[in-house]
Amino acid sequence: MDKDNIQVRLMKSSKATREDYFGKTICYVCIGLITVLVGCILYFITSRGIATFTQNHVKLGQFLSGTNWNPGMLDSHGNPEVGALPMIVTSFGVTILAALVATPFAIGMAVFMTEISPKRGTKLLQSVTELLVGIPSVVYGFVGLSVIVPTVRHIFGGTGFGILSGTLVLFVMILPTVTSLSVDSLRAVPVHYRQASLALGATRWQTIRKVVLKTATPGILTAIIFGMARAFGEALAVQMVIGNAVLMPTSLVSPSSTLTSQLTTQIGNTVMGTMQNNALWSLALILLLMSLVFNLVVRVIGNWGKHKYES
Amino acid sequence: MNPKRSNQIATGTIFGLVVIVVLILIGLIGYILFNGVPNISWHFITAEAQAFSAGGGIRDQLFNSLYLLILTLLISFPIALGAGIYLSEYASDNWITNVIRTMIEVLSSLPSVVVGLFGYLLFVIKFGFGFSILAGAIALTFFNLPLLTRQIEESLRTVPNLQREAGMSLGLSSWKTVTGIILPAALPGIITGIILCAGRVFGEAAALIYTAGQSAPVVDYLNFNPLSPTSFLNPMRPAETLAVHIWKLNTEGVTPDAHQISSGASAVLIIVILIFNLGARALGSYTYRKMTATK
Amino acid sequence: MNKKRFFATVAALGVVTIGLAACGNGGGSASSSSSSASAKITAVGSTALQPLVEKAASNYQSQNKGVNISVQGGGSGTGLSQVQEGSVQIGNSDIFASQQSGIKASKLVDHKVAVVGMTPVVNKDVGVKNVSMDQLKQIFTGKITNWKQLGGKNEKITVVNRAKGSGTRATFEAAVLNGETAVKSQEQDSNGTVQKIVSTTPGAISYLAFSYVNDSLQALSIDNVKPTDANVETNDWKIWSYEHMYTKGQPNKATKEFLAYIDAKKQQNGLVKKMGYISIHDMKVSKDANNNVTDNKN
């Protein structure tokens, strides 16, 4: 009897194991929930987005390479005018430019906050960047419209609307995201790496450049993608300064239109299930695919970085 | 170049970059506050919005923003916490994890109007929520999840493995280790994540136009029954938030003082975020001290 | 270990499904309970019309306690498609349902609640205050590109159009362009943004609803007719349109009463005018979806 009891007790999972199951289950539920939600939204956009090609019989090549955007109208050959190229180019343009401008600043800020002045600098800069995240994009847009557009017009001529203004607004908008994520990745570099480097007689900059930044490269790249993702998806602010003309951008100061600005201005004026509406969902689909591509590219770079510097 | 010299140049450059950013930030925030603060008064914060005459306030919008923030965090934080723990503690480095990660990151780049329309078609129409705070909170959860999950995962990862090993060697289950040791240690990072998300909730407009709606019906602040349609606590009522209000004033506002209200509201928004951030940080460091042995 | 992981995954998916189902049920029951307690009207659509309907709704609700009216924006297209699907009671629109592709206008009943006049506006520096209808057309089709050609300053014309498919643009193009296609140019979708852009961009031209014209811009006269309410009422000023509130079939009782409330003299002369619209009862002419104008007396 007694022996059995012990056996049973020993065979039974311990309290700790049960706790562990419980915790694990909760985590699985959460991750499952997120996956389902993401799956839903991806399916939704994909199914709407491909309707342009399956129901309205628009050719994919024409969609991606055409420069006339006039859904619902037919061109002289009787084909629907749904060329999304100008918007794709502009979206890419502002996103990449904004990321290029923001990256050095973000890395500078992150290095300053973690390596140079971790105490006071961090406190101040962190609160300020967090404040920036909360400013509504509309406000960014209006500040852009009242300050940046006239300035650009003065310096570069034209109307002031265009990729340049869009870039400048987006750069400020994505700065907090890129900075705070970069800070995290710099902080994740173990202190003993720095100590080892300094002990070898390296200067602070040598340590930062050759040890800290190199180790943190994958993290910084992730920070940049998140920033680019935000720039990609940003609509209201960009829409006010980009000019919203579906034209191939001829220069940085010519009015053009991004995928999101077109989507936001038009979607309320179209009716679900019509060609116009489907074409807009196709733009959303492109947006999705483009960010997927960005993600994969950066993941590859990140892996390369990891293998190169960590092993 | 000699290393000392390059060290100086680099430090100088970094200082330069930081100074430029700080100047931009001060300029931006200064611009908003300078334009907005003169319009803020007690009346402005406590009065109802006006449709076409001057002198409207932002009482309902301000409350709606806060309420929406709380609801959104109630929904998204537990999920993000679980997912973050999964990704940092349990997930093995295989293709499934990679797919999940990629999906989450792709989600964060969707334009908010798409998420808004998705929320509209699914929650507002299909599930019959109607234009409601709840539908808005769920739509905002979509935005918050990627950033929040990522932030939580990162801050859990920064906790040294030594701590996990210590927990294990004390005979704790790994779940206990996570909740009792790792989470408290990661708290400051998690708080930062929450603050960043709160900022996005406060500032989001496009997604809410189609879900939480853009009108603020008259509500009764003394009615504490959350099921009553006139109660301020009812999550099923439509609610215009401050950011949506600013958007509406700027795009279709017909009140003569639309510009003043919108700049005043922007300033209030920044001040509220500031208070929220400071509060969250203070609370965070208090709990951090309580839960860990730090002094 | 593998078995356990499998179990956990199944458990996770199970909980997710239950959770989603519960959400669905919860939502359903909540909405049904509120509709039984009181009449609930939802109006969705045109952002331009929204302030008027919203204000009218809040006035109406303070007099009629049992009614709960929710007014939302989303754009004319959204309004029309949602009322067609029956998910809302009223679809607000700036344009006739028959002008919107994808809408079966025969199923919808039109309630015209107000008239809105629109005027071309220019930046104050261009030095032009009057144009002919033909000149206006040539500006928007890209044939006239400098203000000098109209006797103004030597300055390039920057055309700021409204979003394709928006009611304002449809009205303007029907009245001005005569079926020609507008030049590709900047597009903005809201009155407020257009007002701001035109007032700050040298050489800019666009068009706005009357209520958004202020001192920061110059409204143009067309063929020496000034953009005033009185000129719209007689159709001397050609660029105007109705604000519509569509219902699917005949409205139910609560909706009908609310629509009657807006249409009443008191609201038309009070609220409608205060919001910068023209009362539907003051119109001496009427216009149909094909832009044919008829005199009301005949």
Please check whether residue A4 lies inside any domain of the structure: no
Identity of the amino acid at C14 = G
Beta-carbon separation of C73 and B248 below 8 A: yes
**Pairing mode, strands C130-131 and C67-74:** unpaired
Tokens of A258: 């991004």
State how far residue C77 is from chain B, nearest Cα, in angstroms.
Answer: 13
Please check whether residue A110 lies inside any domain of the structure: yes
Mark whether A40 and A94 lie in a shared domain.
Answer: no
Q: Over pLDDT 90: what percentage of chain B?
A: 3
Mark whether A95 and A197 lie in a shared domain.
Answer: yes
Beta-carbon separation of B215 and C54 below 8 A: yes
State how far residue C58 is from chain B, nearest Cα, in angstroms.
Answer: 7
| CATH code: domain of residue A167 | 1.10.3720.10
Reduced to 3 states, what is the DSSP secondary structure of residue A279? helix
> Tell me: the pLDDT tens digits for B181-235?
888 888 888 887 888 788 878 888 888 888 888 877 767 777 777 777 677 777 8
Q: Over pLDDT 90: what percentage of chain A?
A: 8
Last residue of a domain, one of A33, A49, A65: A49
Mark whether A160 and A280 lie in a shared domain.
Answer: yes
- pLDDT score, position C91: 92
Please check whether residue A70 lies inside any domain of the structure: no
Question: Does residue C283 sit at the B interface (CB-CB below 8 Å)?
Answer: no
- pLDDT score, position B1: 64
Please check whether residue A196 lies inside any domain of the structure: yes
State how far residue B128 is from chain C, nearest Cα, in angstroms.
Answer: 5
State mean pLDDT over A141-158. Answer: 86
Q: With 70 as the cut, is the pLDDT of residue A248 above it?
A: yes
Q: With 60 as the cut, is the pLDDT of residue C8 above it?
A: no
Q: With 70 as the cut, is the pLDDT of residue C43 above it?
A: yes
> Tell me: the pLDDT tens digits for A128-138?
777 777 777 87
Neighbours of chain C (3+ CB pairs under 8 A): A, B
Instruction: State the average pLDDT for chain A.
Output: 83
Beta-carbon separation of A180 and B196 below 8 A: yes
Instruction: State the average pLDDT for chain C.
Output: 82
Beta-carbon separation of A271 and C103 below 8 A: yes
User: In the structure, what pLDDT confidence band is assigned to residue C21 with cuts at 50, 70 and 90?
Assistant: very low
- pLDDT score, position A102: 93
Q: How far is the C-alpha of C124 from the C-alpha of C215, rounded, in Å?
A: 9
Please check whether residue A57 lies inside any domain of the structure: no
Mark whether A153 and A231 lie in a shared domain.
Answer: yes
- pLDDT score, position C35: 38
> Tell me: the pLDDT tens digits for B6-60?
888 888 998 899 889 888 888 888 888 898 888 888 888 887 777 667 777 788 8
Mark whether A288 and A191 lie in a shared domain.
Answer: yes
Question: Does residue B214 sit at the C interface (CB-CB below 8 Å)?
Answer: yes
Q: With 60 as the cut, is the pLDDT of residue C214 above it?
A: yes
Q: With 80 as the cut, is the pLDDT of residue B118 above it?
A: yes
For the residues of A225-243, what is the DSSP string, one character each? HHHHHHHHH--HHHHHHHB
Q: With 80 as the cut, is the pLDDT of residue A86 above it?
A: yes
| C-alpha torsion sign, points A158, A163, A169, A175 | negative
State mean pLDDT over B266-273. Answer: 86
Mark whether A157 and A304 lie in a shared domain.
Answer: yes
Beta-carbon separation of C158 and A159 below 8 A: yes
State mean pLDDT over C251-268. Answer: 88
Lowest mean pLDDT among A149-158, A164-173, B246-255: B246-255
Q: With 50 as the cut, is the pLDDT of residue A201 above it?
A: yes
Lowest mean pLDDT among A21-30, A264-273, C143-152, C231-240: A264-273
Phi, psi of A85 (to 5 degrees): -55, -45
> Tell me: the pLDDT tens digits for C86-131?
888 999 998 888 888 888 888 899 999 999 999 999 999 888 889 9
- pLDDT score, position C206: 93
Three-state SS annotation for chain B:
CCHHHHHHHHHHHHHHHHHHHHHHHHHHHHHHHHHHHHHCCHHHHHCCCCCCCCCCCCHHHHHHHHHHHHHHHHHHHHHHHHHHHHHHHHCCCCHHHHHHHHHHHHHHCCCHHHHHHHHHHHHHHHCCCCCCHHHHHHHHHHHHHHHHHHHHHHHHHCCCHHHHHHHHHCCCCHHHHHHHHHHHHHHHHHHHHHHHHHHHHHHCCHHHHCCCCCCCCCCECCCCCCCCCCECCCCCCCCCCHHHHHHHHHHHCCCCCHHHHHHHHHHHHHHHHHHHHHHHHHHHHHHHHHHCCCC
* Complex ipTM > 0.85: no
- Kindly calculate the radius of gyration of chain A based on its CA atoms and give it in whole angstroms: 25
Please check whether residue A67 lies inside any domain of the structure: no
Question: Does residue C274 sit at the B interface (CB-CB below 8 Å)?
Answer: yes
Among A154-163, B79-88, C63-72, top mean pLDDT goes to B79-88
- pLDDT score, position A289: 84
- pLDDT score, position B91: 80
Mark whether A111 and A235 lie in a shared domain.
Answer: yes
Domain that holds residue A120: 85-310
Mark whether A134 and A182 lie in a shared domain.
Answer: yes
Please check whether residue A152 lies inside any domain of the structure: yes
CB A279 within 8 A of CB A259: no
Question: Does residue C62 sit at the B interface (CB-CB below 8 Å)?
Answer: yes
Mark whether A287 and A233 lie in a shared domain.
Answer: yes
For the residues of C100-151, what is the DSSP string, one character each? STT--GGGEEEEEEEEEEEEEEE-GGG---EE-HHHHHHHHTTS--BGGGGT
CB C239 within 8 A of CB C171: yes
User: In the structure, what pLDDT confidence band is assigned to residue A106 with cuts at 50, 70 and 90?
Assistant: very high
Nearest CA in chain A to C166: A269
* Number of domains present in the structure of chain A: 2
B98 vs C206, more confident: C206
Beta-carbon separation of C16 and A31 below 8 A: no
Please check whether residue A157 lies inside any domain of the structure: yes
Which chain A residues contact residue B213 at CB under 8 A?
none
User: In the structure, what pLDDT confidence band is assigned to residue C223 with cuts at 50, 70 and 90?
Assistant: very high
- Domains of chain B from N-terminus onward: 40-294 (1.10.3720.10)
